[in-house]
Amino acid sequence: MSIEQQLSRLNRYLNILAQEAPFSAARLAVLKLIKRNNPVTLSQLAEFQQVSMPTMSKLVDELQNSGFVIRAQSKDDARQRWIVPTQKGILKLVDIEVENQHFWHERLVSLTDEQSEDISKSLDLLLNTIKPEPF
């Protein structure tokens, strides 16, 4: 099987896992950006994620309705609204990280140290080659 076919297969599996997750990958990416860039504006988030303002507004609305973020008015500019994570949102990120670690540990525990190292080096090389946007 070619590397392109293997990557396509891996991408398909990861997409299936993401669809089965109770917290969407899009919402997770936005919540991580909000936490990392706290405070941040809606337009900054849309630019970071390279999506339209209505799309980003919908994602932020979902996060706000779930209590993971709040919109706060700027003290300097009444027209400016900042988006900040709530304690609940920060704890959700921690929970998801722990769940992800358990998920991958359960699937990779049978690998030898050498196999784990080989996979890690290959993933580093792949990530450096495709240079994905930071999350």
Task: Look over the chain and give the mean of its residue pLDDT values, rounded to a whole number.
Answer: 91
Residue 132, pLDDT score:
63
Share of the chain above pLDDT 70, in %: 97
Burial 67-77 (b: 16+ CB within 10 A, else e): ebbeeeeeeee
CATH T-level topology, domain 23-130: Arc Repressor Mutant, subunit A (1.10.10)
Residue ranges of domains in the chain:
23-130
If you count them, how many residues does the chain have?
Answer: 135
Write the DSSP symbol of residue 97: H
pLDDT tens for 52-93 read: 999 999 999 999 999 999 998 877 777 788 999 999 999 999
8 Å CB contact between 30 and 50: no
Residue 135, pLDDT score:
46
pLDDT tens for 115-128 read: 999 999 999 999 88
